[in-house]
Structures are given as C-alpha cells and as structure tokens.
Homo-oligomer: A and B are copies of this chain.
C-alpha cells in the first residue's frame, strides 16, 4: 500500500458571511473575513490516493490521470472564481475552507474510483499559516 499525493493550485475570491445573521453579528464572528466586497486567496490543494503498486507500470496511479480528474472536477470550477457565487457544489454552504475541502472530496471521490484510485485525503491550505484536512470520516 502506497500513498500518492498530487498538488494543484487555484486562486479564488470568497467571504465568510452567514446570511441568517445581521451584518454586525457577521463582523463580530468573522472579522475582516466578512468584508462584503470579498477578499481572496491562492489555495493549495493536496489530494492523496492510496493503492497497490502495479507491477508493469510501477504506479499506484498515473499522475497525469490523477491531475486531470482534480482539474476537471475541482480546479476548473474554482480557479479565478468566487466561491460564494460561482461554484455549484458550494451553493448554500458557508464558504469556509472546511466546507470547501469536504466539497472537493465529494466532487472527486467517484471519478477517482473510476480510475481505480481510492481517495485517502483532501488537504487544503488557504495561507502559509492555515490549512485543513478531510479524510472522509463522518
């Protein structure tokens, strides 16, 4: 069993804003992240799959295929987008890094399985100081 990790990047805008709350409550909880005119980040996404090494190729997964799935089902929907407004799989959810990691997991799990890859981890770094990881645990 080997774990293979591919990094992809995207740049996006978002805000942390709970529509059920007043503007004051949003600012009290989310501070500058609640700025109504948005802010943004360069996100780094690390996707890890696990599996046996194929004897003929020496691969657990072809990284070209892995990259293509991540790009098709996640990056192309997120890069140079507004996470709150433009991303169907985030509709109706708070645009937090936690929810984004879970949403990306749901987007890519099946297409990766179709490649014969078992998804192990989605790690998402929002800045050099802040990151989250989702292992599919409920």
Q: Please list the residues of chain A having a beta carbon within 8 angstroms of any beta carbon in chain B.
A: 1-9, 11-14, 16, 18, 20-21, 29-33, 35, 37-42, 48, 53, 56-60, 62-64, 79-82, 85-86, 93-96, 98-99, 101-102, 127-135, 137-138
Contact = CB atoms under 8 A, between A and B. Distances in A.
B3 A135 contact: yes
Contact of A58 (B57, B82, B94): B94
A24 to B, nearest CB: 15
13 contacts: A13-B37, A14-B40, A18-B56, A20-B56, A30-B57, A35-B80, A39-B80, A41-B41, A41-B42, A48-B133, A56-B94, A58-B98, A60-B98
Contacts of A31: 64
Given A32-B80, A39-B82, A130-B6, A53 B135 contact: no
A21 to B, nearest CB: 8
B7 A129 contact: yes
Nearest to A61: B98
Nearest to A39: B80
Given A2-B132, A5-B133, A40 B37 contact: no
Given A58-B93, A98-B60, A13 B1 contact: no
A104 to B, nearest CB: 12
